[in-house]
Structure 1
């Protein structure tokens, strides 16, 4: 009763208030929405952390009172703001299994004047564990109503790919622990890339939480992350501050579906490039193994691309030819510019263009090679050489990693030679 009285008093005196944290489109820099968070400012004690009062309210079955207060105070205010931004609210595990929640929430939101289709809820992975069937039923009811459901703090709970595929999640939020310093931590970068790729493959919008620096944002943009949330864009704000933030960023007029830059899409792009290119193409790792090669390149060694992949240059070359190739790779390792050289392999007269490939933070991960048969007609050879050289100078997004490309397949626009 004491906790209930304190909560009621705090709500009546507006000591508990909705804070709006911006969620921004990483590509355009425009505002897409706000997550609405509870803040408690006591006149005697000062700020009371949500970490302290939220668990107590959940234990005393008072979380519904807090949730309804946030919805009934945040939505009417936001309904007067311009733009099609969304508001996202957190749902607790106990709330999620309440059979009446979808209908009650729909009526509450509609009464505030805020569009239901722009109202979103966020649930954590742990929310789905206590009663999977009820959670499944509730989330599908929300989805049928047009309320988008986000899976919060992904990767920190009981992650299940089967559950991710079965539940109607429209948004996936990467926990801040995988975002913080990912520009300097390769392990975090790989985890973030995997989560982003998973979301893209399932057609789910991906949000990175805890974005604090421009460097983190740049990596997330290159990885194809859709939205960002964190202190870089703004801390949780009062309604007046949030309105000014909306005016500063500008809301996205019409949110388009997430771009498909998934690893599967990129793999198909790269496969098309390798298959259609009128020149030989290959990628070598730092151990000089052929990770990928098209048939035109592999024909130098009287093999198919599939037969060449996995073999080192030492497996397929020897003598002066091997020495030449190793020298080219050594030069390439030290140069930002492509290395071009003519050499003879068997009866083939070749021109090879080699460039080192770096990851998102500039670490060398291998070598990209282009081979041209110089016995082709001179005019055709020159055109291919110009296009091949341009290919090796593509922006890093096109050639930063083997098997990955965030751009469209490079079109040489030439007949085969």
Structure 2
């Protein structure tokens, strides 16, 4: 037969005297940082015959036997003594029975216990369940205020599971709001649980409360909570409750940071479906949406505008409000709509796409505008496409620049064919794009072999390192360069050439291309060498004549 409750009550009295009721410490971790921030203190009964007994079995007995105050004092004294010497940034949280929140002496008892262990009360958080506020909210508020005056923080535990009332949350000076484990454990499978978790965290953010999630068991849950902005987490993913003897190991051991990106996580699809978003996060996203330099819109399955940002409204020269509810065909000029409609329909079938469109100028003399438009299907949590996300980027200036550059390079190629030198074009990093046919005549290397960095194969080994040093310095600084070096010719001889180059920049200062030319200077170098030899011979004759004198 099971032990009778009356016998357990008697055993509980003995257990308190024999120090069988001890604190266990469950890690509490910053969800975004992965750092240990403190512990929740949980009572355990180390029964000599029955082993470890969980609090949900003996706490109700303690309340019925009027032993809850003594039990709490015992746990607090041990917890304070065990953690007083830990890093001052680490806090402890203790759950108070609803019965104790009716005892006006509670604040003084907590103060006395903390003083005995020299534990600073600004490191203590008292957790209060909603059920404790039902009977006498006024008395609870009075006791809570006294606790706050001692420096104690207050957390509302199990929010949303019992007598949920915003009045309760407003009536007491809470610092933390705890998300119950029942919602956390089911939020991966249950959309309603995700929405509740999002709403509770959003409420905490709006009220500037620290949000704590209980019962986190896996990375998917942690990912969702991190994205929603939850501050602190506890659960088996961070570690089980441990005895006071194992406390130093937990403090010294690194926690799981879990700060990876969500793209490859199972949580990524779930997170994007949570509606509504927490109010603070929604306000931030709305500000980004409205202030983005890119034109953005969301259209539903009937190709009606659901939302647009100010940038798109300005492009269309129509107020944001006048877009909403109207079909794109009513707003977008027919000449453009006929081009984008197939892409919209493909997006509704789940196929993302992008295209360039040009909008004609208002007058005959005005230049048109070119936009890069992307269409991305938007799906609900079931994977069904519910609309299309449209993004437009104005690339008119870039197109004009590309056209001008293309035209300039066409002229340049014509000039190259007539130029006795060897003009060339390089990209910003020094890769050869084009070079005069005369280079092939000189070296025997084809234009294809010369492209990219192929030209380096024809440079004399004694000159290559110095040449590359000069070029690299110019590519980094944007300064012009001028260098003499030897190249291997078609007849397998080495001949001197001179290469000069200069950067062409766009309006923003970014280098678009390097332009320059290479010319043979073998005769010049031979003449220069002969001049040096002649000067040396003359100097020798003068010296000999002076010695004779």
Aligned pair in 2 of structure 1 residues 43, 338: CA closer, same or farther (>3 Å)? farther
Q: Which runs of 5+ in 1 are unaligned?
A: 253-261, 383-413
1:149 to 154, 157, 166: 154
Aligned residues: 374
Verify the 8 A CA contact 2:348 2:386 in the aligned structure 1.
no
Superposition deviation, residue 75 in structure 1: 1.1
The alpha-carbon distance between structure 1 residues 345 and 65, as it changes in their structure 2 partners (threshold 3 A), is farther
Q: Which of 44, 52, 61 is equivalent to 1:56?
A: 61
Match status 1:306 vs 2:327: no
Aligned counterpart, 2:24: 19
Deviating more after overlay: 365-374 vs 314-323? 314-323
Task: Compute the displacement of 1:323 (Å).
Answer: 5.5
User: Aligned partners of 1:346 and 1:181: how far apart in 2?
Assistant: 56
Q: Which residue of 1 aligns with 2:250?
A: 245
Change (3 A) 1:381 1:142: farther
Partner of 1:256: none
CA contact (8 A) 1:83 1:251 kept: no
Structure 1 partner of 2:297: 282
- Residue number in structure 2 paired with 1:292: 307
Structure 2 vs 1, CA of residues 8 and 334 (structure 1 numbering), >3 Å: closer, same or farther? same
Report the counterpart of residue 408 of structure 1 in structure 2. none
Structure 2, unmatched stretches of 5+, are 1-5, 258-276, 363-367, 404-507, 509-549
Which runs of structure 2 are paired with 1:115-154 in the superposition (5 Å)? 115-154=120-159
In structure 1, the residue matched to 2:198 is 193
Q: Residues 5 and 265 from structure 1, CA distance in 2 versus in 1: closer, same or farther, beyond 3 angstroms?
A: closer
Change (3 A) 1:324 1:182: farther
Deviation by residue 1:42-86 (Cα, 9 ceiling, x = unmatched): 121223232221112112221111101100111101113334211
Please name the residue that 2:391 is paired with. Answer: 370
Distance 1:83 1:302, change over 3 A: same
1:353 counterpart = 2:374: yes
Question: Matches of residues 19-98 of structure 1 in structure 2 within 5 Å?
Answer: 19-98=24-103
Larger radius of gyration: 2
Structure 1 residues 276, 230: CA separation in 2 closer, same or farther (over 3 Å shift)? closer
Between 372-381 and 161-170, the greater mean CA deviation after superposition:
372-381
Map 1:265-414; keep pairs closer than 5 Å.
265-285=280-300, 288-299=303-314, 302-313=317-328, 316=331, 322=337, 324-332=339-347, 339-342=354-357, 351=371, 352-356=373-377, 366-373=387-394, 378=399
Q: For residues 72 and 110 of structure 2, what CA distance do their matches in structure 1 show?
A: 10
CA deviation vs aligned residue, 1:356-393 (integer Å, no higher than 9, x gap): 457899886654322245666846999xxxxxxxxxxx
Mean CA deviation greater in 113-122 or 80-89? 80-89
Secondary structure of the structure 2 residue equivalent to 1:191: helix
Q: Which moved more, 1:132-141 or 1:318-327?
A: 318-327
Contact 1:85 1:251 in 2 (8 A): no
CA contact (8 A) 2:201 2:278 kept: no
**C-alpha separation between the residues in 2 aligned to 1:81 and 1:325?**
64
Deviation at 1:15, TM superposition (A): 2.3
CA RMSD of aligned residues (A): 3.3
